[in-house]
């Protein structure tokens, strides 16, 4: 899991599955997945199987602010142990290009440093 994502212990136990699912959900404007783009700020999984995602977008005018959260909910509910999912969109702190992972930088042809 990325160092810049706050994750609780219960979610950390299934982090590989979470990453796989999040890497399948793309921001259509940037053509990079939400995980490597750095849109995910926080992942919490509670004892009832509720997974809460706190995320942002690259811009407040992003056209996918309604569709991406729905895709996240549908995708994460497929993971064993996750019963429900909620997505909270926040604009603070604002997304910065420095949140893009090394893989994402290479995919977008941005310097990987």
Report the distance separating Cα 83 and Cα 78, nearest Å. Answer: 9
Q: Residue 81 in contact with residue 75, Cβ under 8 Å?
A: no
| Stated pTM of the model | 0.93
Confidence (pLDDT) at 113: 66
The mean per-residue pLDDT over the stretch 35-39 comes to 97
Report the distance separating Cα 97 and Cα 12, nearest Å. Answer: 25
């Amino acid at each position: 899991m990325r160092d810049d994502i706050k994750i609780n212990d219960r979610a950390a136990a299934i982090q590989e599955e979470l990453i796989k699912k999040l890497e399948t959900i793309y921001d259509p404007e940037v053509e990079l997945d939400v995980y490597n783009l750095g849109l995910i700020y926080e992942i919490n999984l509670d004892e009832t199987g509720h997974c809460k995602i706190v995320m942002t977008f690259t811009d407040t005018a992003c056209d996918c602010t309604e569709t991406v959260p729905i895709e996240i909910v549908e995708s994460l509910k497929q993971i064993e142990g996750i019963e429900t999912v909620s997505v909270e969109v926040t604009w603070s702190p604002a997304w910065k290009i420095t949140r893009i992972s090394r893989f994402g930088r290479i995919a977008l042809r941005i310097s990987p440093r």
